[in-house]
Structure 1
Amino acid sequence: MKKVLVVLAFGIALASCNNSQTSDNQSAVSDSTAVDTVVVPQKDSLSVYLPDIKASLPEAQTVEVKDDPVFFKTKSYKAIPLQTVLDQFLPAYKSLDIKQTQIVFECEDGYNPSMSLEKVLSKKSYLAISDVEAPKGQEWINPKKGDHEMKIAPFYVVYTDVPAKDVTYKWPYNLVKISLSAASKELAVLFPKEDDTQVKGFELFKVNCLTCHSLNKVGGKMGPELNYPKSVTEYWQIDQIKQFVKAPTSFRNECKMPAVTHLSDKELDEIVNYLKYMAKHKV
């Protein structure tokens, strides 16, 4: 499982807390919560709307992805190194501490994954602009997931040195915007300051759920808000929440949420307990 996770202002000290892509076999690792002071660039320099710069992008090269997690096979794309895109269109990142900076990917369908900028740049990451195998006159092939056709355009982030089974890396497609943000101010309303036992649940929720669902109005818009004005734990039985997460289509016809099969029962319990805690901490 993708759009507008709130882009945070950098007029604050950077801190990072760290996402089926809960959908399509993706998630992310938790980042540090340490705070660091950095040079503060102008807010407008921290995001770029990709369709607006398409004509200005540098020449793309052909790259091969051995095991694409969206198409489940070897794929070739016309793509540009992601660092080259950042160098040209988001140069302000060079004045930031990349260890304390999040890169946020905003997709048309509401999926909104984020990762540590340092983690993304540590691999051979690319902004794919077209599918080499697409029919003449087309830029992309859209795969099907059940009866649903997945829209890949206009952009897709891929890696040539990350195995598909490594779910700590995000592969956002249908991508329209890239932003740089701090995970401090707004994510602070989600951090369980009063109960250290809920930190694990917070981290699991942030990694696996926040890209599609918002909590206290912070997070993705692909799925429903889970805490405000009512927590999902206030109107659903706990065992039903866990069963739904494991098999959404057994509850709802044509449900777009993918089955979450990579989390253990213990990890699901951690998430649910965190949601119960947050039901008492609404903003």
Structure 2
Amino acid sequence: MKTVLAALGLGLAFVSCTHSQTSDNQSETSDSTAVDSVAVLALQKDSLSVYLPDVKASLPEAQTVVVKEDPVFFKSKSYKAIPLQVVLDKFIPAYKRLDLKQTQIVFECEDGYNPSMSLEKVLQKKSYLAISDVEAPAGQDWINPKKGDHEMKIAPFYVVYTDVPAKDVTYKWPYNLVKISLSAASKELAVLFPKDDDTQVKGFELFKVNCLTCHSLNKVGGKMGPELNYPKSITEYWQVDQIKQFVKAPTSFRNECKMPAVTHLSEKELDEIVSYLKYMAKHKVKV
């Protein structure tokens, strides 16, 4: 999972592309949803990832920032942090030559959480790479919050925002962060798109935003939680009502479950996700 992305990196899967794949992509039609020719050149010539622990000593100077609504600590917090754009300027300068709308920023965490977002979306807000907690005891960089009996490790880095409300789930706040990568608009995600059934598009979009950062589907996605479609779909061994109940209250099923309760989705939205999972059960990856 710590491969350096080059050429046309494929979204959440962190796959390093070969020369032949690059050639194939360069021959695609102009209406491709990947990247334009300038971006392709940038992707070929420059590294588009940075392993943060390796560059910690050379990070730009940090400043104190205040996060009024921290969704991890559930209160106002202060951090020593560096603007994320400044980090990219120094370690992944090739991003300036990319189409930001067609570029994903992928955050790789030690625990397997691998959220991704549109690079344009991230840079539109005041996003920061936090390197320490101002409120941490002397001699420590971080305070680790607890979720039940489980202590959450925040180190070594944490992405925060000073102008994004905690309730906005479209923005990701990855902690325990070790790597940042940039990739072209994901063709891997295209494999998960329900091309032959428009009624499943809503479920796909909901799954992508709310589930794919922790769970994989056909081997695409996060590694924190279990794969949900291969070799067996979760809909093939769990009843629909149980799936929905588990999503809303994981700890009522499993002791010390790391999965947070998903309370912001309506019953209709949960039904859309389950319907999409049933659809994907008939479209498993071929190996």
TM-score by length of 2: 0.87
Which amino acid in structure 1 is aligned with residue 62 of structure 2?
A
Aligned residue pair count: 262
Contact 1:7 1:180 in 2 (8 A): no
- Structure 1: distance between partners of 2:238 and 2:165: 37
Contact 1:46 1:179 in 2 (8 A): yes
- Secondary structure (helix, strand or coil) at the match of 1:203 reads helix
- Structure with higher RCO (Cα < 8 A, 6+ apart): 1
Residue 13 of structure 2: which of 2, 6, 12 is its match? 6
Corresponding residue for residue 86 of structure 2: 84
- Secondary structure (helix, strand or coil) at the match of 2:81 reads strand
Instruction: Kindly indicate whether residue 119 of structure 2 is the aligned counterpart of residue 112 of structure 1.
Output: no
Corresponding residue for residue 193 of structure 1: 195
Largest Rg, 1 or 2: 2
Contact 2:33 2:185 in 1 (8 A): no
Contact 2:34 2:184 in 1 (8 A): no
Contact 2:34 2:185 in 1 (8 A): no
Deviations 1:110-161 (A, max 9, x none): 1111111001000111100011111111111111111111100000001111
Corresponding residue for residue 9 of structure 2: none
Which amino acid in structure 1 is aligned with residue 14 of structure 2?
V
Contact 1:100 1:182 in 2 (8 A): yes
- Secondary structure (helix, strand or coil) at the match of 2:78 reads strand
Corresponding residue for residue 250 of structure 1: 252
- Structure 1: distance between partners of 2:54 and 2:176: 15
Q: CA RMSD in A?
A: 1.8
Offset at residue 228 of structure 1 (A): 0.4
Which amino acid in structure 2 is aligned with residue 63 of structure 1?
V
Contact 2:214 2:224 in 1 (8 A): yes
Deviations 1:68-122 (A, max 9, x none): 1111111111111100000000011111100111101111111111111001000
Offset at residue 238 of structure 1 (A): 1.2
Corresponding residue for residue 94 of structure 1: 96
Which amino acid in structure 2 is aligned with residue 159 of structure 1?
Y
Deviations 1:176-199 (A, max 9, x none): 000111233211211111111111
Contact 2:69 2:75 in 1 (8 A): yes
Superposition pairs of residues 172-211 of structure 1, within 5 angstroms = 172-211=174-213
Identical counterparts, % of pairs: 87
Offset at residue 43 of structure 1 (A): 7.0
Q: After the TM superposition, list the runs of 4 or more consecutive aligned residues in structure 1 that deviate by more than 3 angstroms.
A: 8-13, 33-36
- Secondary structure (helix, strand or coil) at the match of 1:135 reads coil
Unpaired segments ≥5 residues, structure 1: 14-32
Unpaired segments ≥5 residues, structure 2: 4-11, 27-31
Corresponding residue for residue 151 of structure 1: 153
Corresponding residue for residue 63 of structure 2: 61
Deviations 1:19-50 (A, max 9, x none): xxxxxxxxxxxxxx945524212376111100
Change (3 A) 1:43 1:109: farther
